Amino acid sequence: MAGHVSVNEAVDLSRIMAAQARLAGRVRRTPLLSSRALDAIAGRRVLVKAECLQHTGSFKYRGGWAALSALADAVPGVVAASSGNHAQGVALAAAQQGRKAVIVMPSDAPEAKIRGTRALGGEVVLYDRAHQDRDALCLEVARARGLAQIPPFDHPEVIAGQASVGLELAEQAGDIAAQVLVCCGGGGLSAGVALALEARAPQMHLRTVEPEGFDDMARALATGRVTPNDARSGLCDAILTPAPGKLTLPILRRLAGPGLVVSDQQALRAMALAFAHLKLVLEPGGAVALAAALFQPEAIAGECVIAIASGGNVDHAVFTRALEEGARHGDC
C-alpha cells in the first residue's frame, strides 16, 4: 500500500529536527500569551501558546506539511481521516505541493470544518461514525487511487511535525519551569511536544488533557492498559479518538505526568475566557488544556502553567453557547 508506515519507526530528535527544517518558512511562529485576569482565576501564572492562530486554525498544519513533504515525489496524493483540523491541515499542505487530498470525515463533523476542507481543495468523503469503519474506508480509497495514508496522529512524520510546537515553546518560555498542558486525542501533539521538551526544555513537564467520557489516554497512562472509548460523538470533536496511538502511548508513558480530564462546561467557560481576555477564538477541543489550567489548580504543581490552545475551528452555534456559558458564570 502506498505510504504505509511501520509503527516501529522511531520518532527521535533527528527526525524532529529534519521536520523542523522542512517546516521553516511554512508555519507561523504562534505567540505565547498571558493575562492577569487568567492568572487570578488559576492562582498562578498562565501562559497560552496560541496554535489556534496557525494556518488553517490549528496545529495540524505542522504535521500535515511534515508528513506530505517527506513523501516521494511520485506519490500523487494522500487520504486522511479527520473530523476537520487534520483534514484542513492536510488539504492545505497537499494543495501547496500540487498533490491530491481525499479526506474521510464523519457526517456529523462541524459544518465549518467540512466547508473549510473543501475550500482548501480537499475532496471530502463523508461517513457515519456509528455504522461505518473509517479506517477500512481510508484503506479502500488509498488502494483504489494509489494514495498514501496520512493518519491524524499515529505517524512518525506527523508526530515530528507537531513537535515543532514544543521547540518554539522552549525558545519562547526560556528557563521557566512549568507543567505544559496539551489538548489530547490520539496523542500526536502531546507526544511530539513531550519529545521536544525532553530535548530542549527538560525543566518543563507535559500533562495531557481530555474531555470527560473520552479520557482513554489518561486511563492508559494510569494503568498501562488501553481501554477504548465507547462513545462516538461529543462536544470536543477535535480530540475524540477511540484509543491512544501505538506510537504515541509509549512516548507519553515515558515522558508525561498523569492525564487530566475536564468537563464540557469547563471547556466552554475556557473558550469564553480566552475570547474575553486574550481575544482568541477557540473550539471546545482546543480549549481543554486552558480549562484544566483555570479550573483544576489543585492538580497542577508550580508557580506557572503553560496551556496549548490547539485549535479555533468552531461553528457559530457552539461559540455562541460558550459565550452564553461564560456570561452565566460571570466570566465575560
- Give residue 254's identity as a one-letter amino acid code: R
DSSP 42-59: HTSEEEEEEGGGSGGGBT
What cell numbers appear for 43 in the block? 492562582
Give CA angle at 70 (250, 104), nearest 5°.
75
- d(C-alpha 56, C-alpha 111), whole Å: 15
Among 281, 189, 319, 206, smallest CA distance to 241 is for 189
State how beta strands 45-50 and 32-34 pair: antiparallel
**Whether the Cβ atoms of residue 147 and residue 141 lie closer than 8 Å to each other:** yes
Which residue from 99, 58, 98 is spatially nearest to 82, judged by alpha carbons? 58
Among all residues, which ones are annotated catalytic?
A: 60, 310
CB 103 within 8 A of CB 87: yes
Q: What's the rounded Cα separation, in Å, for the pair 42 and 32?
A: 17
Q: Residue type at 272?
A: A
Q: Which residues of 224-259 are buried (b: 16+ CB within 10 A; e: fewer)?
A: eeeeebeeeebbbbbbbbebbbebbbebbeebbbeb
Tell me the one-letter amino acid at 93: A
Residue carrying the nine cell digits 474521510: 104
Q: Give ∠ CA 282-202-239 in degrees, rounded to 5.
A: 30
Amino acid (1-letter code) at residue 166: G
Burial annotation 157-169 (CB, 10 A radius, 16+ → b, else e): bbbbbbbbbbbbb
